[in-house]
Amino acid sequence: MPPAWIGFFSFLLGLCTGSFLNVCIHRLPRGMSLVAPPSHCPACGARLGPLDLIPVLSYLFLRGRCRHCRGVISPRYPLVELLTGFGFLLITREYGFHLYTAGLLVLFSVLVVASFIDLDHRIIPDRLTLFALAAGVLLAALRGADFFRDGLLGAALGGGILLLVALLSRGGMGGGDVKLAFALGWYLGWQEILVALFLAFLLGAVVGGLWALGTGRTLKTAIPFGPFLSSGAMLAALAGDKLISWYLNL
């Protein structure tokens, strides 16, 4: 386990990264630049100052309202920041200071953005997937030939399985999910991508069934798969080896 200060630093880094991810979630599906214009209130357009941009604390200090127009700020903003902070902390505690850790931090950030965009707009932007793919291929190459071959096989399996599901379901699985699974394979390898897909389908079935019971709708109603795929991928990254060992020991 890494020293406590590394965990504390990773949590703070995650909070700050989460603030930027909120910008990505809002702007990417709208085709907006991520750097211009500067951060502003979506209600009144007032530019936000440094005291308005402190992760989580600004939201609490302002009581969830804009300093200028008193418009309500969505609680999603501190939620994303806290989610990213704890995600960074868990990844760092599991892997310590390592090249693979940096890759997983990038992947986790991408998956947070992809999940919330998919929930809001039912899409996973190609710009996001291509960035994850490029980073995943680079990470696999830097880790060596064996990891590169494992990543290539993982990408083929992940993308191929979801492509087959998309073809058989005739539109039940989106192309964005297929592309994301292909990118995920480069990070996870062929064994863990199988674990990730199994967990994603399991989570999707359970949550989808509960949602259908709660709303009175049928199981045929489409729900975004991106959040389940993202959750399965991170569970596989953090505990995939343990789950595989447990299954084999059965």
- How many Å apart are CA 234 and CA 130, to the nearest integer? 19
**Three-state SS at 172:** coil
CB 58 within 8 A of CB 51: yes
Confidence at residue 237, expressed as pLDDT on a 0 to 100 scale: 93
Dihedral over alpha carbons 145, 149, 152, 157 (to 10 degrees): -160
Q: Report pLDDT digits (tens) over 102-141.
A: 999 999 999 999 999 999 999 999 999 999 999 999 999 9
Confidence at residue 103, expressed as pLDDT on a 0 to 100 scale: 93
Give the DSSP letter string of 202-218. HHHHHHHHHHHHHHT--
Residues 195, 29, 166, 207, CA torsion sign = positive
Q: Name the residue with higher pLDDT: 150 or 244.
A: 150
What per-residue string of b and e applies to 48-86 under the rule 16 or more CB within 10 Å gives b?
eeeebeebbebbeeeeeebbbeeeebeeebbebbbbbbe
Name the band, by pLDDT with cuts 50, 70 and 90, for residue 37.
confident
- How many Å apart are CA 203 and CA 229, to the nearest integer? 9
Residue 18 in tokens:
């989460």
CA dist 191 → 84, 111, 188 (Å): 26, 20, 7
Is pTM beyond 0.75? Reply is yes
- How many Å apart are CA 227 and CA 249, to the nearest integer? 30
Q: Report pLDDT digits (tens) over 44-54.
A: 777 888 878 88
CB 92 within 8 A of CB 6: yes
CB 126 within 8 A of CB 41: no
Report the chain's mean pLDDT, rounded to a whole number. Answer: 88
Q: Name the residue with higher pLDDT: 142 or 48.
A: 142
Mean pLDDT value of segment 69-78: 87
Confidence at residue 125, expressed as pLDDT on a 0 to 100 scale: 93
- Phi/psi at 42 (5° precision): -70, -20
Residue 149 has pLDDT above 90, yes or no: yes
Residue 187 has pLDDT above 90, yes or no: yes
Domain ranges for the chain, please list them.
Answer: 1-97, 98-250
Poorest-pLDDT segment among 37-41, 73-77, 87-91, 134-138: 37-41
CB 147 within 8 A of CB 99: no
CB 109 within 8 A of CB 21: yes
Give the DSSP letter string of 107-134. HHHHHHHHHHHHHHHS---HHHHHHHHH
Confidence at residue 217, expressed as pLDDT on a 0 to 100 scale: 64
CB 174 within 8 A of CB 122: yes
Confidence at residue 169, expressed as pLDDT on a 0 to 100 scale: 81
Q: Facing residues of 149 across strands?
A: none
- How many Å apart are CA 186 and CA 206, to the nearest integer? 27
Residue 1 has pLDDT above 80, yes or no: no
Q: Facing residues of 40 across strands?
A: 47
